[in-house]
Structure 1
Amino acid sequence: MCLSQPGYRNPAVRAPRFALCCRTGSTAEVKPMTGEKQFSASGVNLNYVEHGPPSAPPLVMLHGGAWRWQEYLSLIPSLGRRWHTYAVDLRGNGRSGWVPGRYRLADFADDNTEFVERLNAPVVLLGHSIGGVIALMVAARRPDTVKGLVIEDVPLTQESYRNVVDSGRAMFRLWLQLKRAAQSEQDLALALADAYRDCPGVTSAWILFFAGCLWQLDPGFFDNLLDDFEGFCAGYDCKQILSRLACPILFLRGESRLGAVMTDDDIAWLQCHCGNAHCVSIEGVGHLLHLQDQGQTPVLTAMLAFLDRI
């Protein structure tokens, strides 16, 4: 899940330290959703948008949880010069369909494995947070099709994933509380603005963007995650998955003190056991990476340098 910390004054619902504020620039601006398409997969309609030369190799982009494909608005123009990008709304997010009770990692992987298969071409997957977890699972299912991975800040073990979830419970509950109380997207934006008003760096543009994401989110999106973590994570063993993958992989992480999920131990393990993995640490950002990187330069530069070698 994508993480952000509201500066809420009620200590009972104050979000954890690891999930720091989002300093966003153009990425957070709400833009018209044009050219969106629908794809039917695993009994749910998925919303997506594509951009780039029709003959270019496909790059499938998977956003973080509780967000939507517009998370990648700042990256699509640059990545779309060489790649044909497909930015997909996960089930329950954005304009994709709602499937109550079926928001497990395996469900998301089913959807996007089918999406990749329908492209009928070698693909690169780019995933942030839960989107990165899903990308890894899809690659493990279709190693013959996935020729490269860009993974932004994912937990490498179920234990670290559980720690992230447990630390974020109050925050997720707060999001849902505000969503259920709001009568409109505008009401939700006002409530978020109040909840985040003591959090430095949160802009009005980001508030509007996240309000739109949260307004479209299925309220049951977090049920599997919070109430049945073992079932939610079934099938995800990152280290086992990596042992089966031969394609080049770029791992991006921010600073732990700013909320990054990946640890120094994770990076050390990757460098020791995963010869096809390249790890890049980005200074000045936390878990949100390209959403916190106002100029998008360090994150985008690392992505482009990696993709140019594929």
Structure 2
Amino acid sequence: MHRTHSTQPALVFIHGFLDGAQIWEDVTRHLGHRAAGALCIDLPGMGARADEPGPFSLDRFAADVTTQVRALSLPVVLVGHSMGAQIAELVAQRLVQQVRGLVLMTPVPLRGAGLPNEAMSAFHAIGGNPAAQRELRRNVSVNLDDARLERLGQLGDRVAASAVGIFADLWNAGHPSGAEPSRYRGPVLIVRGDGDSFVNFAMISSGVMPRFKAPSIASIERAGHWPHIEQPAAVARVVESFLANIEHAPNGAQLQDTPVASQGWTRAFEQKSADAFADAFALNVVLEASVLAKPAIGIEQVKAVMTTASKIYEALSFTHEAHNGLRDYLEWEVQAFGGERMRGVTVLTKNAAGKIVHVAIHHRPLGGALKFSAELGRRLQGKVDASLFYPGA
């Protein structure tokens, strides 16, 4: 194993239900040198350790990972997918001083998914049934071609049929500590696939986000439950951005107060819904932006622009916030147009009732802002006054 630079935490990847360490290969390839020395773990009973016997529990998995991470004797960032996100949080609670950040990818809440028995029967039925396992995976993905689906399927085929239902019940029932706010108070990034019908936004917003002090959120376009397989380049970019924020903290301090808290504005971007934006706005809201030639005025016009803008983004991460009276200042990073990155600052002014009355959005660089404006105009043609937008080249 190659050691990372002394100021950089090592990456530790924890897979989910029926998967294995090799599912991270595409993401680590896109991360390049930043993934040098990464630890990709196979959990007992899965992956290369599929022959290991039970009994199995979330605590056993967490203890196993904790032992491996402690042996690194390095600061780490834990990346956990689905059930692996539950395990990552348990490890972070055990190794608080060693863990610099937590990335929860399409995370099952630590308290469990709480699915009823009839829903769980489908997960129990895939044990020893390769065709059913692949069909279930396809149903909760968006961009799995046959080759990638088969890669995942072969991992699931290794798992003992008798263990499949046990593993499913573990993530569904969750862990007792999931009933309380997380004891891990460091920086957290939640990554979701915008087409994930299993760990959907409702599950994340009710069962995951409230557990943490101020999690950042990134949504991956054209991805379902396996964004690291379906869109590995996009996932690598949001992870890299999260790492950069951690590594730029003075003296290696944890950024406990910098990620953006859940609020109406960020939730609206997650849901990409006109109704969600409407809930955040006052009727007389005004939007000024570097992507607009003149202000958009009134709730109908503003929510149309913002809802459409949210759907252009392939990934969005709110990275920092500040507050001054009735004003909120949000820094963000986005990807659009096949991975093109833009950054900016949004200033939200609220009235006494907490509704947003003025929005000022500053994109950079200029080229990206102009391209974004032209795309907004194209998508809103006939719906919003065309003079708001810069014409395309």
- TM-score scaled to structure 2, two decimals? 0.53
Residue 75 of structure 1: SS of its match in structure 2?
helix
RMSD: 3.3
Aligned residue number for residue 272 of structure 2: none
Amino acid at match of 1:90: L
SS in 1 for 2:67: helix
Q: CA deviation at 1:110?
A: 0.8
Contact 1:63 1:130 in 2 (8 A): yes
Q: Find the partner of 1:218 among 160, 183, 186.
A: 160
The answer to whether structure 1 residue 76 and structure 2 residue 28 are counterparts is yes
Task: State the Cα deviation string for residues 10-61 of structure 1 (Å, max 9, x = none).
Answer: xxxxxxxxxxxxxxxxxxxxxxxxxxxxxxxxxxxxxxxx567586631110
SS in 2 for 1:87: strand
Quote the offset at 1:112 in angstroms. Answer: 0.3
Residue 78 of structure 2: SS of its match in structure 1?
A: strand
Note if contact 1:251-1:280 (Cα within 8 Å) is conserved in structure 2. Answer: yes
Residue 16 of structure 2 is matched in structure 1 by 64
Q: CA deviation at 1:282?
A: 2.1
- Cα distance in 1 for residues equivalent to 2:69 and 2:83: 17
In the alignment, does 2:149 pair up with 1:204? no
Equivalent residue number for residue 117 of structure 1 = 70
Give matches, 1:110-189, under 5 Å: 110-156=63-109, 158=111, 161-163=113-115, 167-174=119-126, 176-178=127-129
- Could you say if the C-alpha distance between residues 291 and 51 of structure 1 is closer, same or farther in structure 2, counting changes exceeding 3 Å? farther
Q: Aligned equivalents of 1:194 and 1:246: distance in 2?
A: 37
Identify if the C-alpha distance between structure 1 residues 163 and 139 changes in structure 2 by more than 3 Å, giving closer, same or farther.
same
Secondary structure at 1:115's aligned position in 2?
A: helix
Distance 1:111 1:89, change over 3 A: same
Residues 157 and 271 (structure 1 numbering): CA distance in 2 closer, same or farther, change over 3 Å? closer
In structure 2, give the amino acid aligned to 1:121. Answer: L
CA 79–235 in structure 1, closer or farther in 2 if over 3 Å, else same: farther
| CA offset digits 1:99-143 (Å, max 9, x no partner) | 433221111101001111111121110011011110000001111
Whether the aligned pair in 2 keeps the contact of 1:193 and 1:207 (CA below 8 Å) is no
Alignment of 1:227-306 (within 5 A): 233-237=174-178, 240-242=180-182, 244-255=183-194, 258-264=196-202, 266-267=204-205, 274-293=212-231, 296-306=232-242
Q: Deviations over 1:140-183 (max 9, x none)?
A: 1111111111110113363x512288534314413x2325xxxx
**Which of these two proteins has the greater Rg computed from alpha carbons?**
2
**2:43 counterpart (90, 102, 108):** 90
Rate the CA distance shift 1:161–1:272 in 2: closer, same or farther, 3 A.
Answer: closer
Alignment partner, residue 350 of structure 2: none
1:107: which partner in 2? 60
SS of match in other structure, 2:128: helix
- Count residues with an aligned counterpart: 241
- CA offset at residue 277 of structure 1? 1.4
**1:31 alignment partner in structure 2:** none
- Answer 1 or 2: which has greater strand percent: 2
Question: Which residue is equivalent to 1:16?
Answer: none
Unaligned regions of 5+ residues in structure 1, if any? 1-49, 180-190
For the 8 Å contact 1:60–1:87, the answer to whether it is kept is yes
Q: Counterpart of 1:134 in structure 2: which amino acid? A: I
Separation in structure 2 between the aligned mates of residue 246 and residue 194 of structure 1, nearest angstrom: 37
Q: SS where residue 107 of structure 1 aligns?
A: helix
Q: Secondary structure of 2:113's partner? A: helix
After superposition, the C-alpha distances for 1:40-86 in whole angstroms (9 at most, x for unaligned) are xxxxxxxxxx5675866311101111111111111112334124211
Q: TM-score, structure 1 length as denominator? A: 0.66
Displacement, 1:284? 2.4
Contact 2:143 2:224 (8 Å CA) reproduced: no
Residue segments in structure 2 that go unaligned for 5+ positions in a row: 247-393
Q: Distance in 2 between matches of 1:152 and 1:142?
A: 20
| Distance in 2, Cα, partners of 1:110 & 1:66 | 19
Instruction: Give SS of 1:118's match.
Output: helix
Report % sequence identity.
25
Query: Per-residue deviation at 1:89?
Result: 0.9
C-alpha contact 1:251 1:279 (8 A) present in aligned 2: yes
Q: 1:266 & 1:222 partners in 2: Cα distance?
A: 24
Question: What per-residue deviation string (whole Å, max 9, x for no partner) do you get for residues 260-304 of structure 1?
Answer: 4143474378666633411122232222222222xx333222111
